[in-house]
A = this chain, B = another copy of it.
Amino acid sequence: MEELDAILERVDTLIELEAHAELRELLNDLNISDVAEIINESPKRTLLYFQQLDFQRSLAVFRILDNNIQISLLDQLSPIQVVNILNEMPPDDRTELLSDLPSNIVKEFIKKLNPEERKITLSLLGYPEESVGRLMTPDYIDVEPDWTVEQVLAFIRDYGKSSETIDVIYVTDTNGKLIDDVRIRDFLLVDPKTTKVQDLIDGRYISLHVNDEQRDIIDVFQMNNRVALPVVDDKNVLLGIVTIDDVLWVAEEEYTEDIQKIGGMEALREPYLDVPFRTLIKKRVGWLIVLFLGEMLTASAMAFFETEITKAVVLALFIPLIISSGGNTGSQASSLIIQAMALGEVSLTDWWRVMRREILSGLVLGSVLGLIGFVRVVFWNSVFHSYGAHTLLIASTVGFSLLGVVLWGTLIGSMFPLFLERLGQDPAVSSAPFVATMIDVTGLLIYFGFAMIFLSGVLL
């Protein structure tokens, strides 16, 4: 990053001096990721920088530019330049770009593609938004089982340039059905003249289905140590491949959505600073209103206990402490379980093991906080004489309420994500704020319940 600043300064100087040839040389000499950073950092000079690049380099840079910069570039470039770029982009990246644009602009762009590319893009666009079909590229190399390795290597020399990866080669039958995948290393480690493809295959391949959910394949890639996996339809016909670098992006997107949902909002799907203000508010206000309406029940619950509060105002003093302690333990338990579910560490069938663990955790954590609360009340009274003659009873009310509310918070926080999963809902929706709100209302009932037990006939 230090370096990048130095480069940016140099670029600025060259522009001031109008030294275009040198600027051109500099930009064509840097790593493509540095060039992309430079362009991302200077929205106003996007076009100027971009047009200095050799065509092949400009393609490589375009692929990794921020989405909004890509769109603005497509707007500024001449139609012929746009066509060239779209035609040369790997189909999976192009599909992702197109699906981020308004649909009438997409139609215009697709018209500009050559017939071959248009067919590919359209067929890719036919799959559901979060499906593997949207992620795959049809640029792979497939060979037949009766070819010799020498034939395979010659084929790669002829067609390898348009393939996204040649690290894995696919073996299909004459109907296009997938027979196996073979890593390129296996071809290089044998005698090319005497070995046939069928000698190298063992029929043990992992494939993805075109309708699989993108988030589910992260796991498949982690477990199988492959840089690319083949995508097939119901009839096992090979449609395309998914490469592992795209899976890294999927993982990032999925985790971001989870964190945003756990935080109590709809998934943004765009960088924070790029998302329009109206969208930002829309994605946030919905959940806040739902939570607020739920939280209103606390006002009703409090009204129900108004007489008790009037008789013993001291009870009101500990309300924020008690309901927040329930909320905190609930948030903690729910984030923990949501993430364990996302990683597949915990599934529905484990509910009893989770519940047993969390009841025990709740009892331990609740006892710790309850004890601290009890001591706080007794200690404060011995120093400030705050709570009068019934200090021990008040301390017991606070202590036992904390134990109860923490146990309850842990239980609700851990069970609610599993309950949502059981209903076929997304567990991440049981956000920290949502669980906290549920616990606030019941926390009041627990608190005033213990107050009745300990203080009835004394203060109440």
> What CA separation (Å) do A335 and B433 show in the bound complex?
11
A317 touches B332 (CB 8 A): no
A320 touches B321 (CB 8 A): no
Binds B, one of A100-108, A234-242, A245-253: A245-253
Please, how many residues of chain A have a CB less than 8 angstroms from a CB on the other chain? 117
For A168, give the chain B residue with the smallest CB separation.
B167
Cβ contacts A256-296/B at 8 Å (1 or 0 each): 10111011110010011110010011001101110111011
Pick the interface stretch among A10-18, A43-51, A77-85, A217-225: A217-225
Whether the pair B437, A332 counts as a contact (CB closer than 8 A) is: no
Copies in the complex: 2
Partner of A247, one of B32, B248, B365, B431: B248
Determine the distance from Cα of A274 to Cα of B437 in the docked complex, in whole angstroms: 30
Binding site for B on A (CB under 8 A): 29, 31-33, 36, 63-64, 153, 156-157, 160-161, 166-167, 184-185, 188-189, 204, 206, 218, 220-227, 244-245, 247-249, 251-252, 255-256, 258-260, 262-265, 268, 271-274, 277, 280-281, 284-285, 287-289, 291-293, 295-296, 298-299, 302-303, 306, 309-310, 313-314, 316-321, 323-325, 327-329, 331-332, 334-340, 343, 345-346, 350, 353-354, 357, 360-361, 364-365, 368-369, 372-373, 376, 386, 431-433, 436-437, 440, 444
Please, could you name 21 A-B residue pairs with CB atoms under 8 Å apart, sorted by A?
A167-B184, A218-B252, A255-B255, A264-B331, A271-B343, A272-B354, A273-B340, A277-B360, A281-B364, A285-B368, A288-B368, A288-B369, A289-B369, A292-B372, A295-B320, A295-B324, A298-B320, A320-B323, A324-B440, A327-B433, A328-B437
